[in-house]
Amino acid sequence: MDRIDNQILSIIHENARITVSEMSRKIAMSQPAVTERLRRLEEQGVITGYRAVLSPSKLGKYTTAFVLFKSKNCKEFEEFGEAAPEIVDFYRTSGEYNYLLKVVTETSETLEAFLESCNTFGFSSTLVVLSTRFEDKGLITSQDA
């Protein structure tokens, strides 16, 4: 994990579909060398995947909310969470609440319906997202790369 690896990570976090050739030009290194470094970063688990970022609103999902949850039966609630398509992110947390969920739904009505379906598992508190300033800022700072 040297400076070149950090450059590769920074570039590929910005644009996961960049070609290895283009990257090799950016960092002034041969294309097979970059391919090999990428392979290693994947193998070591530094890179865990590559994802397209989709616009919720363009897919008819206009409501995003964070739900703080205090569940009684954790096992049952986690099984419910796995199966619920509305839950995009699912975290176990410390504090008064033991779960935090990011929920994406069509409208506030479908959010309400979702919250009601959670009621049997415990108590929740919901924060509706008004707007997103930014998401998924890179973990590599310019000084690292």
Partner DNA sequence: TGTGAAACTGCATCGTC
Partner DNA sequence: GACGATGCAGTTTCACA
Q: Which does 35 bind (CB under 5 to 8 A by kind): a copy of itself, DNA, none?
A: DNA
Handedness of CA 14, 16, 38, 90 (dihedral sign): positive
Q: Which of 75, 82, 116, 119 contacts a copy of itself by CB under 8 A?
A: 82
In angstroms, give the least distance from the CB of 29 to DNA: 4
**Per CB under 8 A, 89 contacts a copy of itself:** yes
In angstroms and rounded to an integer, the radius of gyration of the C-alpha atoms of the chain is 20
List the single partner that 59 binds among DNA, a copy of itself, none, CB under 5 to 8 Å by kind: a copy of itself
Q: How far is the CB of 46 from DNA (least distance, A)?
A: 14
- Using CB under 7 A, list all residues that contact DNA: 4, 19-22, 29-33, 35-37
Q: Is 14 a residue that touches a copy of itself (CB under 8 A)?
A: yes
CA of 123: how far to CAs of 28, 38, 72, 100, 116, in Å? 55, 44, 9, 12, 10
Q: Establish how many alpha carbons lie within 13 A of residue 30's alpha carbon, considering only the half-sphere containing its beta carbon.
A: 3
Comparing CA positions, the residue from 89, 85, 70, 68 lying closest to residue 135 is 89
Contact between 113 and a copy of itself (CB under 8 A)? no
